Amino acid sequence: MQEWANQLCENRQFGSKMTDSKYFTTTKKGEIFELKAELNSDKKEKKKEAVKKVIASMTVGKDVSALFPDVVNCMQTDNLELKKLVYLYLMNYAKSQPDMAIMAVNTFVKDCEDLNPLIRALAVRTMGCIRVDKITEYLCEPLRKCLKDEDPYVRKTAAVCVAKLHDINAQLVEDQGFLDTLKDLISDSNPMVVANAVAALSEIAESHPNSNLLDLNPQTINKLLTALNECTEWGQIFILDCLANYSPRDDRESQSICERVTPRLSHANSAVVLSAVKVLMKFMEMLPKDLDYYGTLLKKLAPPLVTLLSAEPELQYVALRNINLIVQRRPEILKHEMKVFFVKYNDPIYVKLEKLDIMIRLASQANIAQVLAELKEYATEVDVDFVRKAVRAIGRCAIKVEQSAERCVSTLLDLIQTKVNYVVQEAIVVIKDIFRKYPNKYESVIATLCEHLESLDEPEARAAMIWIVGEYAERIDNADELLESFLEGFHDESTQVQLQLLTAIVKLFLKKPTETQELVQQVLSLATQDSDNPDLRDRGYIYWRLLSTDPVAAKEVVLAEKPLISEETDLIEPTLLEELICHIGTLASVYHKPPSAFVEGSRGVQHKRLTSSAGSGESVESPDTGSAAVSEAPPAVIPSQGDLLGDLLNLDLTPPTSTGPPPAAAPGMQLGAMDLLGGGLDSLMGDESEPLGGDIGGSPAMGAGFGAPPAAMPASFNAPISGGLDDLFDLGGGGMTMGTYIPPKTVWLPAMKAKGLEISGTFVRRSGVIQMEMTLNNKAMSVMSDFAIQFNRNSFGLAPAGPLQILTPISPNQSIEAALPLSTVGPVMKMEPLNNLQVAVKNNIDVFYFSCQYPISMLFLEDGKMERQVFLATWKDIPNENESQFQIKDCHLNSDAASNKLQGSNIFTIAKRTVEGQDMLYQSMKLTNGIWVLAELRVQAGNPNYTISLKCRAPEVSQCVFQNYETVLKN
């Protein structure tokens, strides 16, 4: 079985071969044969040389697994160097040759008893790296002994080995009581043993979020703090990272821990320093702000953070990403340290960009003159990205520090005079923001800006310029000519520019109606009739209707006063920031993303939070401000399929065997009950629900939102709409869930093709568990047994979570029902169609292959309901190219019934609004691989045809999702 499974993936596993001239001057066929002979040579030296050659081949990716028995034969040796080499080979190939790996067990067990502690440790260390079940069994006894070994070197190695074993077989570790032994090691006399035990326990605890495995209490904390003073730099990091997870009982304990951690800030190892900073930042929350010690601590934090900037550039980068977080959480720490963030000419670009970010965050009235002088200097550098960012930074300073605005504007004008194309464009974009922040103050510069109209070739700059012209149309004599010139190439412009142009011309018309009637007609017809972009069309229609029904109202709406834009930009959302502070020093703090965004499986899914003392009076945002959803929203690091990174997904970085724990057995009996509900409630809900809301309700607010430039959308668009939606379109939480739609079983494998075995089946998702339900029918004359199942790599990594449970042989003419729980952590490869699944089934007769398609709703997660704010932001954020529209014909449900039905398949309705008898449902769903799909479903009363628009960062899934809508709605 195992071998057969290997066959399925074999061609992938060793697909990449490289050559390295030094080790492989020849690649002739006889090489393996020669090595074989040398390995079996009597001479020790020759043997060793041969093993070295084998290792060299292994390094460069050559398959030398054929030499397995010969290499293992060399293991029985007194020569430690040779032994280590053989072990290295074993670790690499044991998994592919499990039966032969057993040959090595005896030597391992013997070595674990060796007199030399170095050899005992080596044996237990290596054994833990061999991921073969049979070997694992033999590992338990030696490991138990080594955990209690008299030599600390062996104990510290054994401690890590428990974590290795847990990774292979968690249950075994628990059953054997290794966890308790590991806990005992926290009290070990040797600091390195303590550190490794802490590291191992922390890792194991991550996969058991609620186990309280580490059981941190004041006594253990005390032990850890003692070990902290004595162990290696790495051990200090393990201990500090573990300490950061502890929640002190009161501020006194908090302070005493802080006092014992602060000396670490002087360690030469930057990671020790950053981990200590993490502990302090976290425990500081507990301290009352009026405490003297609180102030002392704040002062102590600045110097070590500054010192990090004299480390090597890579570490500087990590430090700067973290300082960016720290500055947002506690600006007071570094407020006087602006100068150290000045960019040096020779800094690597990644350091420069990060420093610039922090400079802007620290900019204040006190230091703005210096900052501006620096930024102006940077704007003349070579690197385009850096220059752009510097120009943008000048604009941000203007918005942040009012006193400096004037100087910033004149600096920007100077830069525009350089006529460097991208500098000019960047400057215009930021000047637009300055206009919004300080209306009627700097409009004198418009004339200068207009001179550069021609050179703008980037959409954002064009849009900004058009906004300026529209907004100040009354002061620009030839505004109509300027806008008209843009109109000529209307269809070649990007959506951003088109939308802006539409709004600007409408503004112009409302300000100078007599001369521009023709122009506005032209743009409205371009937007509504000749464009197939729904956003543009909708906006066009809204303006058209507004202008034709009530021009006065139109004026009020379109020329309404705009909300002020905020001073701080790019701030990390507070709950996410809190979580990231708990992850200082780690990858999460480098990416500025929660671990769940880039870590697979159960690890790192726990969200860490800062705990603040009740007395401190500091406001901590309530957890339900929609931030949770932000942190779960698809982060940019997940490559969308189809681009370069997406292709790499197919590279399969995960080895073929799945190690995820099998999901809990599905409650099989619920099926009937759920079905009943599904059928019955359907009509019930349909009768009850009334269309909610009237017309476009919040239109004045909406209009104002539309009038604003797209760059400011998050500020101006969000607020009014969501406000309106809350009152008018709330669904009233119709929380009835319907049963999941389960497609009827279809024949997947006809008996004709499989020597009498007929398989029909379907897929179900119940309480989060995906199951493949099959009927196996024996239409042959002989008994069938020994069933096994295997999937080919597929788009969403579906894989059996356990073996196929068919316990009794199937006699002729008998059929048997089997349910196979599935996991989604298998290897990934894009399939065509996307939901195609290729399956191989084996029995005592032969291996049979078939393919079937699963409804994509199997992959919709139960937590796929997006927060409204996030939905709006995400919808806007996904480029329009990713939107696809479909028609669902002949569907006679009303919108609420449809919504309920879809909810049964984990398609969640977030909001609903009704416009002229047409219901629009906004829905979201989340796939198991973290991809979000957003949908807008339009249902017109009396019209059996629905329109659905789908937006997703991976547009490939749209077709599948649409098909799923169709099947769910029609059944």
Partner 1 sequence: MIGGLFIYNHKGEVLISRVYRDDIGRNAVDAFRVNVIHARQQVRSPVTNIARTSFFHVKRSNIWLAAVTKQNVNAAMVFEFLYKMCDVMTAYFGKISEENIKNNFVLIYELLDEILDFGYPQNSETGALKTFITQQGIKGQHQTKEEQSQITSQVTGQIGWRREGIKYRRNELFLDVLESVNLLMSPQGQVLSAHVSGRVVMKSYLSGMPECKFGMNDKIVIDKQGKGGTTEDTGKSDLGGGSSGKQSIAIDDCTFHQCVRLSKFDSERSISFIPPDGEYELMRYRTTKDIILPFRVIPLVREVGRTKLEVKVVIKSNFKPSLLAQKIEVRIPTPLNTSGVQVICMKGKAKYKASENAIVWKIKRMAGMKESQISAEIELLPTNDKKKWARPPISMNFEVPFAPSGLKVRYLKVFESKLNYSDHDVIKWVRYIGRSGIYETRC
CA distance 439 to 441: 6
Q: According to CB under 8 A, which one of 171, 268, 732, 889 is a site residue for partner 1?
A: 268
Which part of the chain contacts partner 1 (CB under 8 A), choosing from 415-423, 442-450, 520-528, 830-838?
Answer: 415-423
User: Does 97 help bind partner 1 (rule: CB under 8 A)?
Assistant: no
Quick one: 650 or 775, whose CB is closer to partner 1? 650
- Binding mask of the shown chain, residues 689 to 718, with x at each position contacting partner 1 by CB under 8 A: ------------------------------
Residue 849 · residue 840 · CB < 8 Å: yes
Stretch of residues binding partner 1 (CB under 8 A), selected from 136-144, 211-219, 306-314, 914-922 = 306-314
Q: Which amino acid is at 785?
A: S
Among the listed residues 80, 369, 665, 736, the single contact to partner 1 using CB under 8 A: 80
Number of residues this chain uses to bind partner 1 (CB under 8 A): 131
Residues in the chain: 971
Position 380 contacts partner 1 (CB under 8 A): yes
Q: Does 191 interact with partner 1 (rule: CB under 8 A)?
A: yes
Token code pair at residue 431: 């000047």
Q: How far is the CB of 573 from partner 1 (least distance, A)?
A: 19
Q: How far is the CB of 635 from partner 1 (least distance, A)?
A: 10
Told to check if 128 binds partner 1 by CB under 8 A, we report yes
Q: Is the Cβ–Cβ distance between 461 and 448 less than 8 Å?
A: no
Which among 310-318, 483-491, 510-518, 715-723 is the span making contact with partner 1, rule CB under 8 A?
A: 310-318
Among the residue ranges 327-335, 430-438, 585-593, 682-690, the one whose residues contact partner 1 (CB under 8 A): 585-593
* Binding of partner 1 by 720 (CB under 8 A): no
Q: Does 599 bind partner 1 (CB under 8 A)?
A: yes
**Gap between the Cα atoms of 484 and 501, Å rounded:** 9
Nearest Cα residue to 275 out of 309, 237, 247: 237
Half-sphere exposure (CA, 13 Å, Cβ side) for 331?
10
Q: Helix (H, G, I), strand (E, B), or coil: what is residue 773?
A: strand
Give the one residue of 102, 315, 696, 831 binding partner 1; rule: CB under 8 A.
Answer: 315
**Interaction of residue 116 with partner 1, rule CB under 8 A:** yes
- How far apart, in whole angstroms, are the C-alpha atoms of residue 902 and residue 908? 7
- Number of C-beta neighbours around residue 112 at 10 A: 24
* 29 touching partner 1, by CB under 8 A: no
What is the rounded distance in angstroms from the CA atom of residue 748 to the CA atom of residue 758?
8
Do the beta carbons of residue 277 and residue 265 sit within 8 Å?
A: yes
* Contact call for residue 5 and partner 1 (CB under 8 A): no
CB nearer to partner 1: give 262 or 882.
262
Q: How far is the CB of 636 from partner 1 (least distance, A)?
A: 9
DSSP summary character for residue 784: B
664 binds partner 1 (CB under 8 A): no
How far is the C-alpha of 283 from the C-alpha of 1, rounded, in Å?
53
Residues 6+ apart with CB under 8 A from 318: 270, 274, 585, 589, 590
Alpha-carbon gap, residue 389 to 431, rounded angstroms: 14
- Please pick, from the candidates 381, 458, 675, 936, the single residue that binds partner 1 as defined by CB under 8 A: 381
- Cα distance between residue 160 and residue 421, in whole Å: 57
With CA atoms as reference, report the closest residue to 72 among 101, 36, 99.
101
Check if the beta carbon of residue 139 is closer than 8 Å to that of residue 169. Answer: no
Residue selected from 142, 470, 604, 705 as contacting partner 1 according to rule CB under 8 A:
604
Query: Quick one: which of 420, 428, 789, 818 contacts partner 1 (CB under 8 A)?
Result: 420
Distance (Å, whole) CA 755 – CA 752: 6
Task: Please list, in sequence order, all residues whose beta carbon lies within 8 angstroms of the beta carbon of residue 547, skipping any fewer than 6 positions away.
Answer: 506, 509, 520, 554
- HEC assignment per residue over 642-697: CCHHHHHHCCCCCCCCCCCCCCCCCCCCHHHHHHHHHHHHHHHHHHHCCCCCCCCC
Q: Are 745 and 773 in contact (CB under 8 A)?
A: yes
Interface with partner 1 in residues 131-160 (CB under 8 A): 131, 151-154, 156-157, 160
Q: Does 226 bind partner 1 (CB under 8 A)?
A: no
- Element housing 575 (H / E): helix 574-581
* Contact mark string toward partner 1, 339..378, x via CB under 8 A: xx-x-xxx--xx--x----------------x--xx--x-
Counting contacts by CB under 8 A, is residue 318 touching partner 1? yes
Binds partner 1 (CB under 8 A): choice among 11, 16, 212, 440: 16
Q: Is 652 in the site for partner 1 (CB under 8 A)?
A: yes
- Phi–psi pair at 495, nearest 5 degrees: -55, -40
541 binds partner 1 (CB under 8 A): no
Taking the least distance from each CB to partner 1, the nearer of 18 and 807 is 18
Q: What is the DSSP letter of 150?
A: S
548 touches partner 1 (CB under 8 A): no
Q: How far apart are CA 236 and CA 254, in angstroms?
A: 19
Burial-class residue 121 by CB neighbours within 10 Å (0-12, 13-18, 19+).
buried
Report the alpha-carbon distance of residue 554 to residue 520 in Å, rounded: 14
Read off the amino acid at residue 208: H
Shortest distance (Å) from residue 171 CB to partner 1? 17
- Is 842 a binder of partner 1 (CB under 8 A)? no
Q: Does 670 bind partner 1 (CB under 8 A)?
A: no
**Shorter beta-carbon distance to partner 1: residue 32 or 160:** 160
* Minimum distance, C-beta of residue 14 to partner 1, in the bound complex (Å): 8
Residues 6 or more apart in contact with residue 684 via CB below 8 angstroms: none
847 binds partner 1 (CB under 8 A): no
Of 221, 638, 772, 961, the residue at the interface with partner 1 (CB under 8 A) is: 638
The DSSP bridge partners found for residue 888 are: 946
Residue 591 in contact with partner 1, rule: CB under 8 A? yes
Separation between Cα atoms, residue 679 and residue 682, nearest integer Å: 6
Q: Are 736 and 681 in contact (CB under 8 A)?
A: yes
CA 391/CA 402 separation, integer angstroms: 17
**Closest to partner 1 by CB, 92 or 947:** 92
Among 64, 588, 769, 866, binds partner 1 (CB under 8 A): 588
Q: Answer whether 683's CB lies under 8 Å from 900's CB.
A: no
Q: Is 100 in the site for partner 1 (CB under 8 A)?
A: no
d(CA 93, CA 57): 13
**Cα–Cα distance, 482 to 775 (Å, whole number):** 71
Q: By CB under 8 A, which span of 479-487, 609-617, 640-648, 903-911 interacts with partner 1?
A: 640-648
If the CB atoms of residues 596 and 869 are measured against partner 1, the closer one turns out to be: 596
Does 88 contact partner 1 by CB under 8 A? yes
The residue range among 55-63, 66-74, 551-559, 934-942 that interacts with partner 1, by the rule CB under 8 A, is: 55-63
Interface with partner 1, residue 956, by CB under 8 A? no
Which of 199, 334, 542, 921 binds partner 1 (CB under 8 A)? It is 199
Is 125 among the residues that bind partner 1 (CB under 8 A)?
A: yes
Residue 234 contacts partner 1 per CB under 8 A: yes
According to the binding rule CB under 8 A, does residue 303 interact with partner 1? yes
108 binds partner 1 (CB under 8 A): no
Among 217, 403, 410, 418, binds partner 1 (CB under 8 A): 418
Contact flag: residue 190 with partner 1 (CB under 8 A): yes
Q: How far is the CB of 342 from partner 1 (least distance, A)?
A: 5
Which range touches partner 1 (CB under 8 A), out of 418-426, 558-566, 832-840, 854-862?
Answer: 418-426
50 is an interface residue for partner 1 by CB under 8 A: no
Contacting residue, 3, 10, 20, 817, with partner 1 by CB under 8 A: 20
| Contacts to partner 1 from residues 874-903, by CB under 8 A | none
The C-alpha atoms of residue 110 and residue 490 are separated, in whole angstroms, by: 80
